[in-house]
Amino acid sequence: MKHRRFISIQYKMIIFSFSLILIVLLIFGSIVYEKSRSIVRDKVSLSNLNTVSQIGSSIDIIMQDIHDISLFLIQSEDVRRYLKLKKSGNIDEAYSLQSNIQDALLNLTSSKMYIDNIYIQGFNGMNFTLQRFRSSVSDERVAQIVKLKGKDYWSFNQVSSNNGTIKNYISMERAINDIDNVSHSLGVLKIEVGENILSSIFRERLSNSQGQYYLLDRSNKIISALDTSKIGVQIDSELINNYSFKDQRGSFTVSVGGTRYLATYYRLPREGWLLIGLEPLHIMLRENNVIFNVILTAAIVSVVICVFAISIFSVRLLGPLGKMRLMMKKIEIEDFNVQLPVKGNDEIALLGQSFNKMSARLRELVHEVYTFQLRQKEAELKSLQAQINPHFLYNTMDMIYWMARMEKAFETSRLVEATSKLFRLSLNSGQEITSVRNEVEHIRNYIVIQQKRYEDAIEFSLDVDDSILHFMTIKLILQPLVENAIYHGIEKAGGKGTVQIRVYGDGDDLIYQVIDNGAGMDPEEINKLLVSPEKENRGFGIKNVNDRIQLYFGDGYGLSFAWSPESGTVVTAKQPKKENISK
C-alpha cells in the first residue's frame, strides 16, 4: 500500500456516478439512435422503393405504347404496300402512301411526346422517317432483327443529327413481315425514344441533389442516367456484384467509392432491364442528427447535475472519514493519544466511536504485545539451542579426538577436531553475538566434514573479504544456508555439484552469499517457507536465519533468493556493518 496512489472515496463516488450515468446514457442513446436510424432507413427505403417502382412503371407504359404503335404499323396496309413498291415505280403512289403513313403516325403520336422518331427501312430501298434527320439500321442489326421473326428488340444507340451533335436513344426495332407470306420480311421498323425523356422522369422523382438513377440493359451497361457521362459505360462493379437482384424490386446498402448508399431497384418485366436508384445514407439520415444532439445535450446536463450533487453530498457525508484518515496517520507513527469528534447517528458516527475505542485499547496493549513478541523470539532461539546438551557433546567429541590420535586414525581425528570446533563455535559461550571471523571459521569446519562425506561429489569454494572479519554478527548464518544448498539443491539434482560461499562488504552492509548449481528452486515457494515452514520442519532453518537477522537488524535486512539456468540458485543474507550489536 506504500507505493499505491491515494484516491479518496469522494473522488471515487464522483467518478462512479459520472461513469454510471454516462454508460446508461450511452446505452440508451445508442439504442434510441440506432432504432431511429432503422425506422428512418426503412421509411426512406419504402418511399424509394415506391418511387423506383413508379419510374419503372412509367417506363413500362412508354415501352408498351411503343409496342402498340409498332403493331399498328406492322398491320398497316399502306405500310406493306409502300414496302412492296419498286424504287423506280410509280412516284405518285409512293408519295401518296408516304403522306397517308405520315398522317396516321402524326395522329397516333401527337399525344406521345416521348417518341422522338419513327423510321421504316424497306428491303425494296424505300425508307420513311418522321424527322428531318435520317436514321438507319446496320446490316448486322437487320440480320439480328429478321431472326427474331417479328419479336421486338430494344437497344441503346447514338444518332448524329444534322448539326453534328450526338443524341442518345433507346430504340425498339422489329421486322415487318408480309401478311400474305409471313416468312417473307419487307423491312424493319425502328421507333426511337430520346434518353433525355427517361432522365427527365428520374429528375422529377429525385429527392436530393446527390441522388442518382441508372437504367441498365441486360449486359449491365448504363443506357440512361442523370449523369450523362455515365451513359454507354458499364455500371460500377461494386454496385451489382454483391447482390443477386432475384426479386422484381428490393433495396440494400452498398459502398461505392467510399460512400455508403441506400440502393433500391426495379426490374422491368418486358425486357429484364434493371432500374437502380441511389441515395447517400448520410443525407438520408440527416434528420437523425437532431436526435443525436438531444441525447448529447441530455448527457452533458445530466453529468453536470450529477457531479454537482454528488460533490455536495460527499463533502457532508464523507468529511468525518477525512478526519479519521488524519487520525489514523498519527496512529501509524505510534501516537495513540488521539480522539475523533463524533457527530450524527449513522454508520460513519458508529465507525468514529469504534475508532476512539480502538485507539484507547491500542494504547493499553501496544507495549504488552511488543514485549511479548520479543520474549517469544528469544524463547524460540533458546529452544533451538537447547536441543543439544552442549557441554556433554563437546566433552564427548574431545575424548573421541584423543582416542583417534592414540590409535593413529589421523583422518578420523581431523574430522572429529573439525566437528568439535564446529560445536564450540556454535555454542559461542552461550552468546548469540559473534564475529564475522568466528562465523567464517565455523563454516570452514562444516565444509571439512561435508567434503569428507561427499568426497568428489561436491566442490566447495570459500571467498572471504578479510577487511570485514572484525565486524560483529549473529552466529549460525552460513551453515543453514550451505546445508540447504546441499540437501535441497545438489543431492536433489544428482551428479557432481558446486557450492560457492562469498562473504564481502557492500557499502554499509555485510553480504553473505551461497550459490549452488543444483536442482534449482521456485522463489515463490521459498518465500512462503520464510513465512511458515512446512510439515517435518522443511524450511525451518532458513526461516530461523531470516527471523534472527530481522530481529537484530530490522525488516530491511534478511534473506533473498534468486534462480536462473545460467547462475543457479543464489541465496543472499544481508545485515548492516556493526562493531557492537544490541537488540
Structural domain spans, the chain: 76-197, 334-384, 431-576
Tell me how far apart the alpha carbons of residues 193 and 196 are, in angstroms, rounded to a whole number: 8
How confident is the prediction along the chain (583 residues), in pLDDT tens digits per residue? 445 666 767 677 777 777 887 788 778 778 877 777 777 777 777 878 888 888 888 888 888 888 888 888 888 888 888 888 876 667 777 888 888 888 888 887 777 778 888 888 888 888 888 776 567 788 888 888 888 888 888 888 877 666 767 788 888 888 888 887 777 888 898 888 888 888 888 888 776 667 788 898 888 888 888 888 888 888 888 777 777 788 888 888 888 877 888 888 888 887 778 888 888 887 766 666 777 777 778 778 877 887 777 777 777 766 677 777 777 777 777 676 777 777 767 677 777 777 777 777 777 776 666 666 666 666 555 545 544 445 445 556 666 666 666 766 666 666 666 676 666 656 655 577 889 998 898 888 888 878 877 777 888 899 999 999 999 998 888 988 988 888 888 888 777 889 999 999 999 999 999 999 887 777 777 777 776 665 555 567 788 888 888 888 888 899 988 888 777 889 999 999 988 876 5
- Extract the C-alpha cell encoding 549: 537477522
CA-nearest of 203, 229, 233 to 216 is 233
> Within 407-487, where are the H helices?
410-427, 436-454, 478-485
Instruction: Give the CB-side neighbour count of residue 209, counting CA atoms within 13 A.
Output: 0
Q: Taking the C-alpha atoms of 336, 341, 344 and 345 in order, what is their torsion angle to the nearest 10 degrees?
A: 30
Contacts of 233 (CB under 8 A, 6+ apart): 221, 222
Contacts of 14 (CB under 8 A, 6+ apart): 307, 310, 311, 314
Strands 497-506 and 458-464: parallel
Largest CA distance in the chain: 166
Residue 66 near residue 191, CB atoms below 8 Å: yes
pLDDT at 367: 62
Residue 574, class by beta-carbon neighbours within 10 Å (0-12 exposed, 13-18 middle, 19+ buried)?
Answer: middle
- Extract the C-alpha cell encoding 291: 436526435
Q: Please provide residue 461's backbone torsions phi and psi, each rounded to the nearest 5 degrees.
A: -140, 140
**CATH class of the region 431-576:** alpha beta
Strands 222-225 and 166-178: unpaired
Contacts of 417 (CB under 8 A, 6+ apart): 401
DSSP 86-109: -TTS-HHHHHHHHHHHHHHHHHHH
- Extract the C-alpha cell encoding 356: 476512539
Tell me how far apart the alpha carbons of residues 341 and 347 are, in angstroms, rounded to a whole number: 14
- Extract the C-alpha cell encoding 129: 422517317
Phi and psi based region of residue 281 (left: phi greater than 0; alpha: psi -120 to 50; beta: remaining): alpha
- Extract the C-alpha cell encoding 280: 447517400
Tell me how far apart the alpha carbons of residues 230 and 560 are, in angstroms, rounded to a whole number: 80
Residue type, 512: Y
CA-nearest of 573, 569, 389 to 474 is 573
- Extract the C-alpha cell encoding 138: 446496320
Tell me how far apart the alpha carbons of residues 406 and 400 are, in angstroms, rounded to a whole number: 10
Give helix 347-385 / helix 540-553 axis angle, nearest 10°. 110
Tell me how far apart the alpha carbons of residues 84 and 452 are, in angstroms, rounded to a whole number: 135
- Extract the C-alpha cell encoding 460: 566447495
* CATH of region 76-197: 3.30.450.20
Residue 319 near residue 348, CB atoms below 8 Å: no
Strands 568-576 and 509-516: antiparallel
What order of strands is seen across the sheet that includes strand 509-516?
Answer: 458-464, 497-506, 509-516, 568-576, 558-564
